[in-house]
């Protein structure tokens, strides 16, 4: 599908301000921009700046090739009968603070804990991410706190979608450099952006999720989560700075060669957060 087909789909699907926003991002998507990217040497630790985007994919090189060639495009634009809660957009994980990649991976390879402070109508729920191998330490603190009545834990969403220390289901994730003015202009069309008017969001949300979403975007927590963006239509592959690979793919020399051949100006790193191919 080419640009004209995406525009045609947008005009059939949206109207008013929502159509204007989508068409604007489609136009930006197809602009040719030179993107400055961070460079590393083999063995160095990858540093993630606040605002960096990451996106994991299922499968291996077939999905990888499609994204490199076409960009990150919402599957509502490319496939039929898609039933996503957040629609017509591409989901991204957003780095909240400057950190090392290895620290970020340890955080999301853990779990999300939610606990109640107090009991009854006046109680308050608190959610936060607990890093990999920190479960016992955290629950010991909670059990000693008389103000915490109950708690429960959930798998972080990142484990389902990104290479992690606890699961091999995902083997590839892209690291996107979002420092340019070009990138910053595109991500203004983020479904989670609280500056967007409610009426502009209806076409981007399943009707069963609409009311809950309006509440969640104003009161985001580690459980909902507070680390996601959903960019209308998509983002170009020119923003890719590096590729994160899981343990299985790290051992596949042919796959690594293929990745590097497709993205010659990008680095490849592992889930230890270190460069394996510069």
Query: Using one digit for the tens of pLDDT, what is the confidence trace for 132-152?
Result: 999 899 889 888 898 898 899
pLDDT score of 33: 85
Residues 74 and 143 in one domain: no
Q: Is 82 a residue whose pLDDT tops 90?
A: no
102 in a structural domain: yes
pLDDT score of 268: 98
Residues 121 and 234 in one domain: no
- Least trusted range by pLDDT, from 80-84, 176-180, 185-189, 221-225: 80-84
pLDDT score of 1: 60
pLDDT score of 278: 96
pLDDT score of 62: 87
- CA–CA distances in Å: residue 262 to residues 45, 77, 166, 243, 275: 23, 24, 28, 11, 17
Determine contact, residues 233/90, Cβ cutoff 8 Å: yes
Mean pLDDT highest for which of 24-38, 117-131, 161-175, 206-220?
A: 161-175
Q: Cis ω on the peptide bond leading into residue 225 (within 30° of 0)? A: yes
pLDDT above 90 coverage of the chain, percent: 74
Residues 25 and 101 in one domain: yes
- Least trusted range by pLDDT, from 65-74, 120-129, 150-159: 120-129
- pLDDT tens across 155-190, in order? 999 999 999 999 999 999 999 999 999 999 999 999
- CA–CA distances in Å: residue 223 to residues 50, 101, 115, 219, 231: 20, 21, 11, 11, 20
Hey, what long-range contacts does 126-135 have (CB within 8 A, 24 or more apart)? 127/221, 127/222, 127/223, 127/224, 128/222, 129/156, 129/222, 131/106, 131/107, 132/105, 132/106, 132/107, 132/165, 132/166, 134/110, 135/110, 135/111
Domain that holds residue 141: 110-155
- pLDDT tens across 198-217, in order? 888 988 998 889 888 988 89
5 in a structural domain: no
Residues 162 and 149 in one domain: no
Whole-number average pLDDT of the chain: 93
Residues 66 and 203 in one domain: yes
4 in a structural domain: no
78 in a structural domain: yes
pLDDT score of 158: 96
**Confidence band (pLDDT; 50, 70, 90) for 224?**
confident
- Least trusted range by pLDDT, from 4-18, 51-65, 134-148: 134-148
Residues 253 and 209 in one domain: yes
Determine contact, residues 69/261, Cβ cutoff 8 Å: no
Q: How many domains are contained in the chain?
A: 2
Cα(240)–Cα(37) distance, integer angstroms: 8
């Amino acid at each position: 599908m080419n640009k004209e087909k995406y525009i045609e789909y947008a005009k059939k699907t949206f109207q008013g301000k929502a159509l204007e926003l989508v068409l604007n991002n489609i136009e930006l998507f197809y602009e040719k921009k030179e993107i400055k990217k961070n460079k590393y040497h083999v063995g160095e630790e990858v540093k993630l700046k606040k605002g960096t985007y990451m996106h994991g994919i299922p499968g291996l090189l077939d999905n990888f090739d499609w994204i490199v060639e076409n960009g990150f495009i919402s599957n509502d634009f490319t496939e039929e009968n898609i039933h996503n809660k957040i629609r017509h957009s591409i989901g991204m994980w957003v780095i909240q603070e400057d950190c090392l990649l290895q620290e970020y991976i340890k955080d999301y390879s853990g779990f999300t804990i939610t606990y109640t402070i107090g009991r009854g109508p006046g109680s308050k729920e608190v959610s936060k991410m607990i890093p990999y191998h920190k479960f016992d330490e955290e629950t010991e603190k909670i059990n000693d706190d008389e103000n915490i009545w109950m708690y429960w834990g959930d798998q972080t969403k990142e484990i389902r979608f990104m290479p992690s220390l606890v699961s091999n289901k995902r083997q590839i994730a892209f690291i996107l450099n979002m420092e340019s003015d070009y990138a910053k202009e595109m991500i203004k069309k983020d479904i989670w952006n609280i500056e967007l008017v409610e009426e502009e969001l209806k076409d981007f949300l399943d009707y069963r999720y609409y009311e809950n979403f309006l509440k969640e975007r104003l009161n985001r927590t580690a459980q909902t989560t507070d680390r996601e963006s959903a960019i209308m239509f998509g983002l170009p592959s020119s923003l890719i700075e590096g590729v994160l690979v899981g343990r299985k793919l790290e051992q596949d020399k042919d796959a690594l060669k293929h990745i590097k051949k497709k993205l010659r100006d990008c680095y490849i790193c592992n889930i230890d957060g270190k460069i394996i191919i510069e």
